[in-house]
Amino acid sequence: MQTTAPTNVEGRLSETSVLNRERLLHDTTNVVLVGNPNVGKSSLFNDLTGLHQSVINAPGTTVEIFSGFNRNLGIRLIDTPGTYSLIPNSPDEAVAVETLAGVPGSLTDAGLQDGGVDLVVVILDATALSRSLYLLAQVGQTGLPVAVVLSMQDVAEKRGEAIDVDQLSCLLGVPVTSANARTGQGLDAVERMIENSLANPSYLAGLPWDKTAPGFNQAGYALAQASQTAVFEAESAENETTHPCGGTNCQPNSPSNRTLPTLVEGEVDEADRAAMIFDWIEKIETGLQEEKIEVPALSASDKVDRILLNPLAGTFVFMLAMYLVFWLANTFAAVFQDPLEGLFDAVGGWDFTVPAALLKIPFTDIGIPGQDVVLFHAPSLADGLVAVLTALGWEGGILQGILVDGLLTGVGVVVSFSPLMIVMFAAIAVMEDSGYMARVAFLGDRLMRTIGLDGRVIMPFIVGFGCNLPTLAALRTVPDSRSRMMAVVLTPYITCSARLIVYLFIAQVFFAEHATEVVWLMYFLSIVMVILGGLALRPIFMKGQKGAPLLLVLPAYQAPRAWVLARSAASRTWAFLKGAGKVIVVMTVVIWALMVTPVAGEGRFGDSLPANESAYGVVASAMATVFVPAGFGDWHLTGSLVTGFVAKETMLGALAATYTNADVTESDVEAAEGSGEATPTMRELVQTTFEKSAGSASAAPVAAFAFLLFVLTYTPCLATVAEQKRQLGWRRTLAAVGGQLAVAWVLAVTVFQIGKLFV
């Protein structure tokens, strides 16, 4: 689609000095970044915008675009999805094209107050110049002013293939500068180039503009035509003759050369357009004397790839890497999770404890012997709030319940996720920045294609066995939006560590002699559910999409930059806390309200009520009827499922709390919550509950297994729902949650009804 420029553009241009060019069409100056995947575009965007950036969905899509503000220049930068071509093969690539074209309704719609495209900065890969030049040529045909940043120049220099920046600028007719976003080298030059290009726009030389080319911007073309006369008038008045080749000094004292490219009016066949671009690329490379006949020697990256891309050795290395990631998440990050949560909601203070596992070398007993080490004890915000309320004479009331048991508990749950998220995001960033992530995608591509996805989701999926939340967050980096949505829907079927204690508890009660095999079976069934779910969803999400092979360019290995990794992990974690945290806090307050609302007995609203006398108990009892066909239609069990919807790690504690009239001690609850251990008291109570709900003692193990299947397949926790909502929107999220609950119920009912026939 095409847009038209406002009718007063030409008149306003004629009154404006080109070298002091102000924003003419809109209030916001927009600079769009375009480049191939893994070329350093997003790193450059992060460095130019710092913390002044946000993530938005392109209008009408689930494709994410990063928008940021550069305070030095007073401009907005827009980071488009990485693409190899402007001929779109996916929604993400289509968004990049629409952003360049400024189509109506897009982020850069020229009809919007903050729309329009003032400059396109194309990032070229110095180690793969031909491929990058193809995208640059397509951008050059859109009618928009262009500037070029040359990345990976340091890697090219090590290979003896460094690009002459001045010569490249002269050949292209636009300004070119070299920058390394990973080290910060050349960022000042990039800002100066952008500033000069906005004041003095340049257009790619050697190729015509093409109205039928993808991404052609009608408003940009009209502005260029209108400004041409003003440009020459300004230069004649200043008697300037030293601005060839887009303003570089590669040919000092030569006449100014600002003739705009010609415009092709008629329809151009795509094959003819491609042939013309390839001819242009050949001329550029010839001008750079880049043609080489000899076969280059194997680089260091190529030698490493002989190991990491080997199906056996590469898989072994990947599993070791994943073990390290899980260790960091489950051991190191876990050190900070409980203290952070306790800092907010632990009435009576919280302990900072170093677990014994952290003090030993993995797979060995080497280390400091003994149990967990408590470093210090400190009061919480809840303690401070209770003290203030007590001083005011408002202790123990509804206000304390809302603030402490509702609000602070919800905030504590949200904040407790941050260490885990930071560790996982940092691990993912290391793999991305080092170039290893592309190799992981290559290794896992064949497996993922069996369910309609590609290898780029393999690493996030494996992370899900630790926690589903980092998986969902990591999937935001998957380029294809349809693959991303499908993977987001499948993620809850990956069994996380929070469900492990439930598996252990039930297995100890009903399958004591085969508890290990039962837990292993649940993990195996988790993988089966992902595969079956993918096969079922493939016709929905991938309808009409051809099974094209995964196109990946393996970047050279590089040492990750610590500051970039830290900032990336922090910004992604903060985005989660802001987005998902609101939903979690609200729902935590709702759950608290249900638990303190009396529906039986003599209690009052806000009192600590027995579970069966609260609205929470009523909801659990009402749900019990639904699960009678599954063999666990008892309010004790369904009540734990309701709490498990908020967080699976709370299921066993909630289950124990429902037995208020039994001899359940605090140690019973702690054993269940902490390690999934079934004490004799809890074992007897749970066995009796299942026997009653299943109808007989012989059918109780079948009902227990059906219960485990339901835990495996229904929604992992409220945090994952919040993150799904952030990526899919409420409509798709509710459909996904409803589908998961339906599948879980059908599986549980089927297993129980068939299983009890054989006992």
Q: Give the containing element (helix H, strand E) for 70.
A: strand 64-70
The two three-digit tokens of residue 620, written as one number: 């659990």
Give dist(CA 634, CA 205) in Å, integer: 75
**173 known member of a binding site:** no
Which amino acid is it at 293?
I
Give dist(CA 544, CA 530) in Å, integer: 22
Structure letter (DSSP) for residue 607 = S
Give dist(CA 100, CA 653) in Å, integer: 54
Residues 482, 541 contacting (CB under 8 angstroms): yes
**661 known member of a binding site:** no
Show Cβ contacts of residue 290 under 8 Å, excluding neighbours closer than 6 positions: 129, 161
Structure letter (DSSP) for residue 677 = -
What is the residue-wise DSSP string for 361-383?
-TTS--B--SS-EEEEEE--HHH
Q: Give the containing element (helix H, strand E) for 716.
A: none
Helical packing angle, 41-49 and 187-199, nearest 10°: 80
Look at residue 8 and give its three-state secondary structure: coil
**63 known member of a binding site:** yes
84 to 89, 125, 280: CA distances (angstroms)? 10, 12, 17
Give dist(CA 280, CA 678) in Å, integer: 73
195: burial class by Cβ within 10 Å (0-12, 13-18, 19+)? middle
Residues 756, 520 contacting (CB under 8 angstroms): no
Rg (CA), the chain: 31
C-alpha closest to that of 684 among 706, 707, 656, 644: 656
CA angle 719, 712, 704 (to 5 degrees): 130
Q: Write down the residue that tokens 């998440």 correspond to.
A: 329
**85 known member of a binding site:** no
**406 known member of a binding site:** no
**547 known member of a binding site:** no
**36 known member of a binding site:** yes
**37 known member of a binding site:** yes
Give dist(CA 206, CA 284) in Å, integer: 10
Structure letter (DSSP) for residue 331 = I
**7 known member of a binding site:** no
512 to 319, 503, 517: CA distances (angstroms)? 30, 12, 10
Q: Give the containing element (helix H, strand E) for 242.
A: none
Give dist(CA 721, CA 582) in Å, integer: 12
351 to 20, 341, 342, 406, 412: CA distances (angstroms)? 62, 11, 8, 21, 15
**145 known member of a binding site:** no
**49 known member of a binding site:** yes
**756 known member of a binding site:** no
The torsion of the CA quartet 572, 576, 579, 580, rounded to 10 degrees, works out to: 170
**39 known member of a binding site:** yes
Look at residue 146 and give its three-state secondary structure: strand
C-alpha closest to that of 32 among 187, 220, 208: 220
Residue ranges of the binding site for GTP: 35-42, 60-64, 79-82
Residue ranges of the binding site for Mg(2+): 46, 49-50
Residue ranges of the binding site: 35-42, 46, 49-50, 60-64, 79-82
